[in-house]
Amino acid sequence: MNLLEGKVAIVTGATRGIGKGILESFVAQGATVIFTYISSGSASEDLVNKYGDKVIGYQSDATDFDAAYKLVDDVMEKFGQIDIVVNNAGITKDNLLMRMSHEDWQKVIRVNLDSAFNLTKAVLRPMLKQRKGSIINITSIVGITGNAGQANYAASKAGMIGFTKSIAQELGSRNIRCNAIAPGFIETAMTEKLDQKVVEEWRNNIPLKRGGSPEDVANACLFLASDMASYITGQVVSVDGGLHM
């Protein structure tokens, strides 16, 4: 099946982890993917070497409002359409509130939440003209449940959910859908830094008894990006092995 044949997608932060998984599943289903990164130049080159003209790597800081417009302008000039946007770039700077610096609060909000505003705003005009589009925001179950030691991250991800539902309401009449995916514990570079004992405990608490893979998230993203989800908007799809029900 080529679910995304002829479609053009932008995926932010796709040099590794979940973003890379999304890129790979989109390409496998026929899409052309423009992906961003900030410092992983060599990982970006590897992807371009592997997938040729089906992917374009673009060094673009997701926190930069003007850079989002430049990205969209460049993609429109080259392809004349943008069908899918996945706001995936994200970071953690965990600490208890007592020890959390103002800088770490702001950095996480900027990378995780401002970034979604920046690119969604930039892509609005072309999608409105096309009268179609699918915007997918990668939030987290932590944005639904909260998490001690992640007040900044949880706030940014909860913000993304409110943003998603609002955009879905504003743009539904123009056939632009906006959904969120809330991954649970997905094993990527972001989670490699964690204490392995804690990781084992997490796995045991998950009904499906394993951490998720980038591919698990990518499969949900593929569905929401495709026309198979043409009547689905404003939803938060959890991909968490049943952790949050």
Please identify every residue annotated as catalytic. Answer: 153
Interface with ligand NAP includes 219 (CB under 6 A)? no
**Considering only 13-21, 71-79, 124-132, 171-179, which stretch makes contact with ligand NAP by CB under 6 A?**
13-21
Residue 164 binds ligand NAP (CB under 6 A): no
Confirm or reject binding of residue 160 to ligand NAP (CB under 6 A): no
Q: Residue 188 CB, nearest distance to ligand NAP (Å)?
A: 4
Comparing CB distances to ligand NAP, the nearer of 111 and 220 is: 111
Burial class (CB in 10 A: 0-12, 13-18, 19+), 190: middle
Structure tokens, 71: 């990205």
Size of the site for ligand NAP (CB under 6 A): 30
Query: Residue 41, Cβ neighbours under 10 Å: how many?
Result: 12
Span interacting with ligand NAP, options 60-68, 76-84, 120-128, 161-169, rule CB under 6 A:
60-68
Burial bucket for residue 38 (CB in 10 Å: 0-12, 13-18, 19+) = middle
- What type of residue is 205? N
Strand-by-strand arrangement of the 32-37 sheet = 55-59, 32-37, 8-11, 84-87, 133-138, 176-183, 236-239
Q: Is 89 in the site for ligand NAP (CB under 6 A)?
A: yes
* Binding flag, residue 39, ligand NAP (CB under 6 A): yes
Which of 3, 15, 22, 82 touches ligand NAP by CB under 6 A? 15
189 binds ligand NAP (CB under 6 A): yes
The CA-CA-CA angle for residues 8, 122, 137, to 5°, reads: 65
CA-CA distance, 20 to 25, in Å (whole number)? 9
The secondary structure of residue 208, as a DSSP letter, is: T
Binding status of residue 37 toward ligand NAP by CB under 6 A: yes
- Binding status of residue 88 toward ligand NAP by CB under 6 A: yes
Judging by beta carbons within 10 Å of its beta carbon (0-12, 13-18, 19+), is residue 56 exposed, middle or buried? buried
Is 193 a residue that touches ligand NAP (CB under 6 A)?
A: no
Interacting residue with ligand NAP among 25, 32, 36, 179 (CB under 6 A): 36
Separation CA 163–CA 136 (nearest Å): 11
Tokens of 9: 């997608």
Give least dist CB 209 to ligand NAP, A.
Answer: 16
> Site for ligand NAP (CB under 6 A): which residue of 55, 186, 220, 225?
186
Q: Determine the Cα–Cα distance for residues 5 and 11; give it in Å rounded to an integer.
A: 16
Q: Which residues bind ligand NAP (CB under 6 A)?
A: 12-19, 36-40, 61-63, 88-91, 111, 138, 140, 183, 185-186, 188-191
